[in-house]
Amino acid sequence: MGNKTKLKTETKRAPNYSVKEKSLLLNILYDSKNIIENKKTDSTTWREKDEAWQNITNIFNSQTVDCPRSKDSLRKYYNIKKSVRKEVLKEKLQIKQTGGRVAEKTEEDCTKDLVLGLINEKTVFGLNTSFGGDTNEIPSNIDAKVTMPDQVETTEGATSAACGNPKKGCYGIADEKPSRSLSFTKKDDWGNFSASKPKNPVTPYLKQKWTKRRRPGIVQPASKLEEKYDHIANIKQELYHLEKEHILKREKREEHIFNLKKTKLELDIKLRELELKKHLDGI
């Protein structure tokens, strides 16, 4: 036998992707992003992905002006996606850094926006919260303008300069009257408040009304309880009698089976004795 020679298919290294080729690939992928970015791992999804990559390869090679690319070579999209994720993470870390450090300038890449349009941005930037969080960037300069009325008179009976309608209050808000009239006495007056007032009992207007959430317990009369206990005792007594009858029947059945087996053995012994006697007489 001669030495077995192994044939190795050597793949030549293709030239690097140019910016035009990257943008062309990402634009073609946009129509098939639902298939390429599908997270399922069943056989049907893999077959659909393989067919989609073959279609993307045909379209790419028909539109490119550089060297044609293979299907495996076009999967460089995954490397581009990883690099974009790393770049976004780096920007996040630089935003959170403290101590007066200046953020490093990154090279402008036109393919970054195309990749972010293909993938789910929530997996890159995280979920947005309506209450804010540490991931949100705080603006450095906030311009706030506050406009106040020119003149506001606080004396009793005078109207404000910002009030246009005498029936309405300032800033066009109607004065609302209380729904019910409250009668305050001198005792309820808080104008002359002293340190000893908290010792006084709470006024009825400040008292809180509590309600019980639990249902009130139902108290039954003693006669109904006695009836329930009697009913339970009767059931237990009936169960005892049924179990006793069942045990007696089982004992009788076992005794009958034992007698049948005993008689069978006695008959077998007599039969063997007769056979033995005949055999001895014949000899």
pLDDT, tens only, 48-94: 989 999 998 899 888 887 888 888 888 888 888 888 888 888 887 77
- In the chain, the percentage of residues whose pLDDT exceeds 90 is 18
**Residue that finishes a domain, picked among 73, 99, 134:** 134
Q: Does residue 108 sit within a domain?
A: yes
Q: Does residue 250 sit within a domain?
A: yes
Grade residue 126 by pLDDT with cuts at 50, 70 and 90: confident
**CA 197 remoteness from chain centre:** 52
Residue 247, pLDDT above cutoff 90? yes
Burial of 124 (0-12, 13-18, 19+ CB in 10 A): middle
The chain-wide mean pLDDT, for the chain, equals: 75
Q: Verify that 22 and 129 share a domain, yes or no.
A: yes
**Domain span at 270:** 223-283
pLDDT higher at 8 or 14: 14
Q: Does residue 245 sit within a domain?
A: yes
10-19 mean pLDDT: 77
Q: Verify that 124 and 230 share a domain, yes or no.
A: no
Q: Verify that 124 and 227 share a domain, yes or no.
A: no
**Residue that finishes a domain, picked among 111, 134, 157:** 134
The amino acid occupying position 207 is K
Q: Does residue 206 sit within a domain?
A: no
Q: Does residue 8 sit within a domain?
A: no
pLDDT higher at 213 or 249: 249
Q: How many structural domains are present in the chain? A: 2
Q: What is the pLDDT of residue 249?
A: 94
Q: In this predicted model, what pLDDT tens digit does every residue of 175-201 receive, in sequence order?
A: 555 455 555 555 555 566 676 767 777
Q: What is the pLDDT of residue 241?
A: 93
Supply the DSSP string of 80-137, one letter for each residue: HHHHHHHHHHHHHHHHH--SSPPPPPPPP-THHHHHHHHS-THHHH----TT--TTSP
Residue 208, pLDDT above cutoff 60? yes
Grade residue 136 by pLDDT with cuts at 50, 70 and 90: low
Q: Does residue 98 sit within a domain?
A: yes
Dihedral pair phi/psi, residue 168, rounded to 5° = -100, 160
Q: In this predicted model, what pLDDT tens digit does every residue of 162-171 receive, in sequence order?
A: 444 544 544 4
Residue 145, pLDDT above cutoff 70? no
pLDDT higher at 220 or 91: 91
Q: Verify that 130 and 21 share a domain, yes or no.
A: yes
Grade residue 11 by pLDDT with cuts at 50, 70 and 90: low
Q: Does residue 101 sit within a domain?
A: yes
Q: Determine the 3-state secondary structure of 283 from DSSP.
A: coil
Q: Does residue 52 sit within a domain?
A: yes
Contact (Cβ atoms closer than 8 angstroms) between residue 214 and residue 191? no
**Residue that finishes a domain, picked among 94, 111, 134:** 134
